[in-house]
Amino acid sequence: MTVTIVGSQLGDEGKGGIVDLYGEEADVVVRYQGGDNAGHTVVHEGEEYKLSLVPSGAIRDKVGVLGNGCVVNPRTLFDEIDTLRDRGLEPDVRVARRAHVILPYHRILDGIEEEAKSESDQKVGTTGRGIGPTYEDKAGRRGIRVGDLLDPDVLRERLEYVVPQKRALAEDVYGVETGEEFDVDALYEEFQEIGERLAENDMTVNAGEFLDDRLAAGENVMFEGAQGTIIDIDHGNYPYVTSSNPTAGGAATGTGLSPAVAGQGEIIGIVKAYLTRVGKGPLPTELGGVEGDTPGYDAEAGNDTDELAKYIREEGGEYGTVTGRPRRVGWLDMPMLRHAARVNGFTGLAVNHLDVLAGLDEVKVGHAYTVDGETKLTMPATTEQWGDCDCEFRVFEGWPEVDWADVAADGYDALPENARAYLEYISDELGAPVYAIGVGPGRSETIVCEQPW
């Protein structure tokens, strides 16, 4: 069977930890979209692993697959595999031949476009990993796929077509001087060697066929979503989104398995007990602000929720895994989560970071929006309208700081009563049971209510 792990908010909900938790029963863990813009953390027995590209099942020695929906930076992939080997793991990673390759010029173009947009205040605040430009080339049918790296003639032909275009874009449109990132010979040399390494290590697969065979043999496949629903290119707050589909439908298109395969399995929405966001865009439940990212926020002037925002940011260690940027924080946003529950069809929820909110007198939740005098229970389709939404808050009594390791060992009933009331509200509103509750970063700091397998 399959289990799909999906971020229900804006990324960094703690997906890596839940993949690791439920990964025990998985045989294969597959990423179906995104690339090294992801930063998934697994903490076990005091060891912390931060993974950008290698699926999080690697920590349990599960076979990892990067599906066709991913964009793969081979430099990151090999660096990450080597680092994990140095730490005593044996990552077995297969890469879809249909996946697209992030080339050095994609990263440069990502930076150039962000810079250009910043002049008109349209910057997205990307991770700078070249994700958008690579998906653009995929859609423009000028991308280079992993399979192309295995055939030097095809690689050469594709580079000769695309690289002069990219060079002209950088130089003639943006007026930026280019270097070897835009040089056909240098790129050919590096990437055909990468193709050789992939072939020598038998790392490339026809992902759909590979996964179908494993399922037919009775194995369990876990789909590891990266990013989150509200930064999905279709269902998120465009244009402040990533360029792929983190939502559950991506598990089919991004792997080569039928929607019925993922649809028959469990789809677990990962919910952070509050909200964080890295980068630009509206955030109706935001507390405090991060200058440059929060619309209209001026750090010097500050605002009356700054202290609370700083408290949550520090307690939760809310700094980007990939970029180290301070994450914007806010209260839980139920219209956002209702939208996510509909788009993804969650069969269960994992609610993380409940410990971070402990000790607050009260915990608020944006229960509904008011916009143009109307009450709305779900997100409007345009980002401008979303930015105009005011929140109607529900206030929950806070729960105390307790020994979370003990609570995790004792189970759900050991949670403080007010924390249980909060979880029950979330579950009722979304019509999905809570399968797991994170009360700390480690594998053992999780209350497991249901096993999805």
CA torsion sign, 45 to 51 to 57 to 63? Answer: negative
Task: Name residues contacting ligand GDP, limited to 11-70 (CB under 6 A).
Answer: 11-17, 39-41, 43
Site string for ligand GDP, 388-427 (x = CB under 6 A): ----------------------------------------
Site size toward Mg ion (CB under 5 A) is: 3
Site string for ligand IMO, 301-340 (x = CB under 6 A): --------------------x-------------------
Nearer to ligand GDP among residue 67 and residue 380 (C-beta): 67
Which of ligand GDP, Mg ion, ligand IMO, none does 127 bind, CB closer than 5 to 8 A by kind?
ligand IMO
| Cα-to-chain-centroid distance, residue 7 | 6
Site string for Mg ion, 39-78 (x = CB under 5 A): x---------------------------------------
DSSP assignment of 208-274 equals HHHHHHHHHTT--EEEE--S-GGG-TTTS-TTSS-SS--STTHHHHTTT--HHHHHHSEEEEEEESS
Chosen residue from 11, 74, 366, 441 binding ligand IMO by CB under 6 A = 11
- 304 by Cβ neighbours in 10 Å (0-12 / 13-18 / 19+) ranks as exposed
DSSP assignment of 136-189 equals HHHHTT---BHHHHT-HHHHHHHHHHHHHHHHHIIIIIT-----GGG-HHHHHH
Give me 177's structure tokens: 């001087």
Find the shortest distance in angstroms from Cβ 34 to ligand GDP: 10
Catalytic annotation, residues: 12, 40
Nearer to Mg ion among residue 319 and residue 393 (C-beta): 319
Decide: is 321 part of the binding site for Mg ion (CB under 5 A): yes
Find the shortest distance in angstroms from Cβ 15 to Mg ion: 7
Decide: is 230 part of the binding site for ligand GDP (CB under 6 A): no
By the 8 A CB rule, do 383 and 282 touch? yes
Chosen residue from 194, 352, 357, 366 binding ligand GDP by CB under 6 A = 352
Task: Name residues contacting ligand IMO, limited to 141-200 (CB under 6 A).
Answer: none
Chosen residue from 2, 4, 8, 12 binding ligand IMO by CB under 6 A = 12
Nearer to ligand IMO among residue 407 and residue 436 (C-beta): 436
Tell me the CB-side half-sphere exposure of residue 138, using CA atoms within 13 A: 23
Residue 69, helix vs strand vs coil: coil
- The long-range contacts involving 110-117, CB below 8 angstroms and separated by at least 24 positions, are 112/170, 112/174, 112/176, 116/174
Find the shortest distance in angstroms from Cβ 351 to Mg ion: 17
Which of Mg ion, ligand GDP, ligand IMO, none does 336 bind, CB closer than 5 to 8 A by kind?
none
Chosen residue from 56, 68, 192, 227 binding ligand IMO by CB under 6 A = 227
> What phi and psi values does residue 418 have, to the nearest 5 degrees?
-65, -30
Chosen residue from 56, 73, 242, 446 binding ligand IMO by CB under 6 A = 242
Distance set, CA 2 to CA 93, 123, 167, 275, 332 (Å): 19, 37, 43, 28, 28
Can you tell me the distance from the alpha carbon of 285 to that of 173, in angstroms, rounded to the nearest whole number? 39
By the 8 A CB rule, do 282 and 269 touch? no
Distance set, CA 237 to CA 283, 374, 433 (Å): 10, 20, 26
Helices (H), 249-395: 250-253, 259-264, 306-316, 334-344, 383-388
CA torsion sign, 175 to 179 to 185 to 190? Answer: negative
Chosen residue from 439, 443, 447, 452 binding ligand GDP by CB under 6 A = 439
Find the shortest distance in angstroms from Cβ 334 to ligand GDP: 20
Nearer to ligand IMO among residue 128 and residue 152 (C-beta): 128
Nearer to ligand GDP among residue 8 and residue 294 (C-beta): 8
Binding residues (CB under 6 A) for ligand IMO: these are 7, 11-12, 37-40, 124-127, 129, 131-132, 226-228, 231, 240, 242-243, 278-279, 321
Binding residues (CB under 6 A) for ligand GDP: these are 7, 11-17, 39-41, 43, 316-317, 321, 352-353, 355-356, 438-441
Binding residues (CB under 5 A) for Mg ion: these are 12, 39, 321
